Amino acid sequence: MNQRVNEAVWEMPEQSVASYVQAVMECYRQHINPSLAALMQFMGFDSVEVAAEGCVVRDAHGREFLDCLGGFGVMTLGHRHPRVVAAVKEQLDKVPLSSRVLFNEPQARLAERLAQVTPGALQCCFFCNSGAEAIEGALKIARLATGRTHFVAAQNAFHGKTLGALSASGRAVYKQPFQPLVPGFTHVPFGDAQAIADALTEDTAAVLLEPIQGEAGVIVPPDGYLREVESLCRQRGVLLIADEIQTGLARTGKMFAVEHEGVCPDLMCLAKALGGGVMPIGAIVGTADIWKCLEPNPLLHSSTFGGNPLACAAGVATLEVLTTENFPEKAATRGAQLMNALQAVQSDFPDAIAAVRGKGLLIGVEFTDEDIAGLVIAGLAQRHIIAAYTLNNPKVIRFEPPLLITEEQIATVAAAFREAVQQTMALVADL
């Protein structure tokens, strides 16, 4: 790997390292989430991360992993992008967390930059701390702006795991234990505009969609789908909310995935990559017209940490890097290379791999069987590649590395993937 993490970060005798790793994992088992700890170990991730840079994560043993998961889409700029780290360090020495009563400049600048880069008439922002929180806020704003309470969303969608976001999401296994959820959500097949037309009623406040479904297994809708949904929404006076939490900020080869079809939503939700892989931050961006509904009471929706100066400084630096270093183009070029490499493996293993699909550097590989996908992830981990399945479709392994992944690193990923599939299929044949 040509991008090596800081050599000086971790020096410890191997024996002490082993007991350090055991101690950290034991804390997970006793105090965090024992079954998550077991799952991580089963997937082959039985170590502790101690340093990261670019596309590379280093564990306590000094092993380097090529990161093809990127914190579930957070690491668009890679780990610890120097311009984002510098901006956050500078802000840390000024005002890290806001007084909340004086104006804060990083928040003002980030809102202004988002208004400039987002499509159409999007120009007002509410800042929060995560994707699910952005969805919650967007649902509330849509209800307030329209005076209606119902939503149309897509089957298998993933919008987060707080109550409102979960109600909008699609996978029963995450929803069932928490019933009753928020009422008023109708779910229709993704990619079918007629199904949306049929589901809209007098009570529909908004249609909520991911432009490309991420956790459903990287599902790209048919060409023209989003445009049709947009015009349906306009005709019926319904708002369109784009969940760009995973697809946004250059990941798919455009700054926002709705731009592939020239669509302008009324509300857009962002998070993940907005903090540049350094700070957590989420945002709802809406039109000035919609924002009027918040005017009667400025504290109708709020968040103590939302819009804090550290996170916003990271956001401003992130947008600077994305635009000046041409990240959308990087995603398109490297995405095509990775897609070709993965498709070449698919054509050699048609019994194992049903499809390879995606846009830019959001790529899903669908296996014919969920267990094969699990074993391939473990095989990739053995070869020091970090990957994971999509949350609402465990048959699909997603590849969403930092957009600065090199051609050489893509070749490394493809070779490891081929070996992992080969090894898994040999294992399955022996059963």
Ligand X SMILES: Cc1ncc(COP(=O)(O)O)c(C=O)c1O
Residues of this chain that interact with ligand X (CB under 6 A) are: 72, 130-132, 135, 158-160, 210, 214-215, 243, 245-246, 271
Nearer to ligand X (CB atom), residue 126 or residue 158? 158
Is 243 an active-site residue? yes
Least distance in Å: CB of 269 to ligand X? 7
Q: In angstroms, rounded to a whole number, what is the distance separating the alpha carbons of residues 238 and 232?
A: 8
**Which of 254, 272, 359, 395 is an active site residue?**
272
Nearer to ligand X (CB atom), residue 9 or residue 32? 32
Cα 344 to Cα 306, 341, 385, 398, 418, distances in angstroms: 44, 5, 18, 16, 9
**Which of 158, 185, 190, 417 is an active site residue?**
158
Nearer to ligand X (CB atom), residue 59 or residue 400? 400
On the 0-12 / 13-18 / 19+ scale of CB atoms within 10 A, 227 is: middle
In b/e form, how buried is each residue of 270-289, taking b as 16+ CB within 10 angstroms?
bbbbbbbbbbbbbbbbbbee
Tell me which H or E stretch contains 321. helix 309-324
Nearer to ligand X (CB atom), residue 53 or residue 133? 133
Indicate the DSSP class of residue 236.
H
Q: In angstroms, rounded to a whole number, what is the distance separating the alpha carbons of residues 205 and 184?
A: 10
Centroid of chain to Cα 276: 12
Nearer to ligand X (CB atom), residue 167 or residue 246? 246
Q: In angstroms, rounded to a whole number, what is the distance separating the alpha carbons of residues 56 and 67?
A: 6
Cα-Cα-Cα-Cα dihedral sign, residues 1, 83, 253, 329: negative
Least distance in Å: CB of 398 to ligand X? 10
Least distance in Å: CB of 235 to ligand X? 26
Q: In angstroms, rounded to a whole number, what is the distance separating the alpha carbons of residues 368 and 243?
A: 28
Nearer to ligand X (CB atom), residue 218 or residue 416? 218
> Per residue, what are the HEC states of 349-404?
CCCCEEEEEEECCEEEEEECCHHHHHHHHHHHHHCCEECEEECCEEEEEEECCCCC
Q: In angstroms, rounded to a whole number, what is the distance separating the alpha carbons of residues 247 and 257?
A: 6
Nearer to ligand X (CB atom), residue 210 or residue 228? 210
On the 0-12 / 13-18 / 19+ scale of CB atoms within 10 A, 242 is: buried
- How many degrees, rounded to 5, is the angle at CA 100 between CA 96 and CA 104? 60
**Three-state secondary structure call for residue 43:** coil
Residues 6+ apart with CB under 8 A from 96: 308, 309, 310
Least distance in Å: CB of 111 to ligand X? 20
Q: Residue with CB nearest ligand X?
A: 131
Are 160 and 130 a contacting pair, CB within 8 Å?
yes
Least distance in Å: CB of 332 to ligand X? 20
Is 67 an active-site residue? no
Cα 108 to Cα 105, 113, 121, 179, 315, distances in angstroms: 5, 9, 18, 39, 11
**Which of 59, 67, 243, 266 is an active site residue?**
243
Is 89 an active-site residue? no
Tokens of 122: 């999007």
Nearer to ligand X (CB atom), residue 44 or residue 248? 248
Active-site residue set: 158, 243, 272
